[in-house]
Amino acid sequence: MTAATDSVERTLEVCEARRLNDLVRLIRLAAPDQTTLPTWAPGSHLLVQVTLADGSTDWRHYSLIDLDGEQGDAVSGPTTYTIAVRREDDGRGGSLFMHEKLNAGDTLTIQGPINNFPLEECAGTTLLLAGGIGITPLASMAANCSATGKPVEMHYAGRSRSLMAFTDELEALLGDSLHIHADDEHDGAFYDITQVLDRCGPQDRLYVCGPKPVLDNVLAATEARQWEDHRVSFEVFTDPVVEEGDHAFEVVLAESGDTFTVPADKTILECLIERGHDPLYDCTRGECGVCTSDVLEGEIDHRDYVLTQSEKDSGEVMQICVSRAKGDKLVLDL
């Protein structure tokens, strides 16, 4: 399910910017004239235009945060939007702009709110599993469940408690329903979700947000337990990364004949945009399905979370924001 999308571009002012810890910075935005902003529901995000080191602009997705459980449902609309940005020194530059260049009084261009990760009705317990900065959409879900009296349980994992955001607020909000796992407090061991899943009831629903390894492990565990797809919602909080064995390959656009090479450290989508094309896309993480493209020739290395296994096996369609070629060439129906 995808909630309504507000695609209008707005210019908002930074009314607060402060560091939560060494990696995470909180940024609060408001309309320059202090008018109310569009309402939103838990799981929503903003598209924020950032300026990269070379002076070019790009868009980044940041989840909206509401720890009161009220802002997203306010009838009159909120007066501010709050986001939190994790610093990625090895990233593409968006987070460095948000950490180093942005200060109170500056303005940002945004689109949204957009909700591809909505909180659904649940007859059982809403189970929230956050990895690292993946806490941002789930914190709003936790606050909403708490405010409306719905059973909720949160599991929040990170490398170190000192680098995890909103722990104090969530402890006050959830009490014993919050379970925090810091790897450095457990001899570096990652959080084991299997025992949590084993005691879940058939009407419980799971929401997962975090890095790709976290998501892959949890989805494998729910699949092994034969959980129905509708019981698991997820959002991944990392951009595509170079994996071992990734190589350059050629892409041919059948309609125009345009031919180009996709290097190992770039995606097809990025190369299309660099060459002046205007492909449809949204999440850039293989979750939403907007960038689905037909493949006329070549073997696909699927890395998305959208296509069914039968669709992947057909070899006829791919998500160009994350998936690649297994061989030396792909011909796309573009």
Q: Which CATH superfamily is domain 249-332 in?
A: Beta-grasp domain (3.10.20.30)
pTM: 0.83
> What is the C-alpha to C-alpha distance for residues 143 and 193, in angstroms, rounded to an integer?
22
pLDDT for 236-265, tens place per residue?
876 667 788 899 999 999 999 999 999 998
Give the burial class of 232: count Cβ atoms within 10 A of its Cβ; 0-12 exposed, 13-18 middle, 19 or more buried: middle
Q: How confident is the model at residue 75 (pLDDT cuts 50, 70, 90)?
A: low
> What is the C-alpha to C-alpha distance for residues 93 and 163, in angstroms, rounded to an integer?
20
Domain boundaries along the sequence of the chain:
9-114, 126-236, 249-332
Write the CATH number of the domain with boundaries 126-236.
3.40.50.80
Whole-Å CA distances, 214 to 70, 192, 219, 234, 259 = 29, 10, 9, 11, 36
pLDDT for 195-204, tens place per residue?
899 999 999 9
Beta partners for residue 262, in sequence order:
249
- CATH class of the 9-114 domain in this structure: mainly beta
- Residue 118: predicted pLDDT: 95
